[in-house]
Structure 1
């Protein structure tokens, strides 16, 4: 029995020793925090996406005639729900080449779903309300997060070793709206700060 618990402890300790946390801050060139920036970590040799990550709950809500959140990040293979919490009907769509789709008119209390099978970006629009816009970023890694109102986030439990830390934001003035940084994740990592040039927010009308 003691051997069993010791083995379990050793396994847990070894697992913890092989994982790291990455603290990331994203701000614009004026020093203001950038919320809704997508931060991902991709190990040098890649990483499989666990079924539990794919099957987690991912929701893009329609409320007060707008999409919430402005940016949603999901892994390849995830299914996103699009609940309508407004009193008016919505017709959600995307013309993005990553995965174009149409969710014809549906009303309050109704939900539609879309499964995303390819990495990339889908810009969302509503065929009834042109002012509505949002983005779904589909990533091919299980290590992802979005920044909060303070422009900060933490990627927890990333595997130690070499990899690529990426920041994507739909309004970033950069190739493919993304910047990347190569680094080696370890048990102790210096906080990673990114300063990005951001253009004014504007309606994308479901194209990208």
Structure 2
């Protein structure tokens, strides 16, 4: 059990391209000191919905344009451009996350647009089934890549010592597909680890009608 906890904490330190959070002000001991989230954490608002069609099935996604406007507009822009069509779910870490939106077949990087501001300080938690922006070490470095949490990962949240990873939506349907992807065999391809042994293709992400959600 202790080994599993240590492994999960270690994974939380390197989510995407070397996902070690940085930024904020440094305290006297060199640690990051971020301002606390002021006021209560808002309830996620599902303002726009999408269907992510993968080679293993469909996943319904809902995003929050009200509280995470930059992350939402960024994602919608990539969808409208057809950017995600033919990209891969290129990273799968069992009992942690699945990640996609930045590579095409053969693990060829697909350059994205300018990076956006990290909106993790809104306070949404990286709970199972939430959709979040992947980024590099710098806080405001997210471009096209996103991930879905397959377990609760509060170690990825904004805090006094971490800039966190911005949650901007959640899975509305097809979590069983996410779970199926989350247990596939992985390998190393060049410099990239945790790559699915058999390519999982995002065939398309398309706008869809939002379901009636319970209040």
For this structure pair, what is the TM-score category when the shorter chain's length is used for normalisation? under 0.3
TM-score, reference length from structure 2? 0.23
TM-score, reference length from structure 1? 0.24
